[in-house]
Amino acid sequence: GAVVSQHPSRVICKSGTSVKIECRSLDFQATTMFWYRQFPKQSLMLMATSNEGSKATYEQGVEKDKFLINHASLTLSTLTVTSAHPEDSSFYICSAEDRSSYNSPLHFGNGTRLTVT
Amino acid sequence: GDSVTQMEGPVTLSEEAFLTINCTYTATGYPSLFWYVQYPGEGLQLLLKATKADDKGSNKGFEATYRKETTSFHLEKGSVQVSDSAVYFCALIRDQTGANNLFFGTGTRLTVIP
């Protein structure tokens, strides 16, 4: 079945550094990918919608200069947390839309646990 | 390991019909359970949630009850509308934080016809 690979699964970085998270669709083309953030014990918050070849659409309250999203190909979207701070520590998860699948069009990565020290 | 099993779609119903989308889970501990909805062209939206056994989540006419004895969280609505056409995802979140504490079902596409 369709698989989305998200890497890394865990990352620890120092405050002020940048971290890049990759989201790859392994056996389908993903015109649209979504990035979410999960706060402890809470549900997902949509951060942005990423469309291949165009600028991402950010949800209200999400800083586009802080969370850089690039969707340069139909199989890869990246989220870069720039100048990370401890409050950016969270669980980030991506999902990719498979428009060729009518039944199950959305597939999820396993998430990235970011800890900023 | 933890997992969520969701009724396969697609599901096609006439307007005002009764909806049930089955969801069962496997988990250690005491997870929280969620239903998310994805409308065409949009990201996931939280539809409802339940954080402990016997809790009932409800929103927009949808309901789901956290049944620990049957490890289920079935989504129901008494009278669906065309605007309910979307893909629905059941999800489980573990109580503790970790590298991967979030598990989704495969999604069920619902189409409601007038």
Among A20-29, B21-30, B63-72, B97-106, which stretch is predicted with the lowest mean pLDDT? B97-106
Question: What percent of chain A clears pLDDT 90, i.e. is strictly above it?
Answer: 62
B10 touches chain A (CB under 8 A): yes
pLDDT at A92: 93
B59 — phi, psi (to 5°)?
-170, 135
- Sort out which chain A residues have CB atoms less than 8 A from B44's CB and list them: 34, 36, 44, 46, 95, 106
Most A CBs within 10 A among B2, B94, B106, hence the mutation to make, goes to B106
d(Cα B51, Cα B95) in Å, to the nearest integer? Answer: 9
Residue A2 has pLDDT above 90, yes or no: no
| Residue A88 DSSP SS3 | helix
State the pLDDT at residue A1: 58
B61: left (phi over 0), alpha (psi -120 to 50) or beta: left
Q: Which of A43, A102, A111 sits opposite B109 (nearest CB)?
A: A102
Residue-wise pLDDT for B95-107, tens only, equals 655 545 678 888 8
pLDDT at B99: 46
Enumerate residues 44 to 83 of chain B having a beta carbon within 8 A of any beta carbon in chain A: 44-46, 49
On chain B, the residues whose CB falls within 8 A of the CB of A44 are: 36, 44, 46, 102
Average pLDDT, chain A: 89
Q: pLDDT of A44-75, one tens digit each?
A: 788 999 988 888 999 999 999 999 999 989 99
Average the pLDDT over each of A36-40, A109-113, B21-25 and give the range with the smallest value. Answer: A36-40
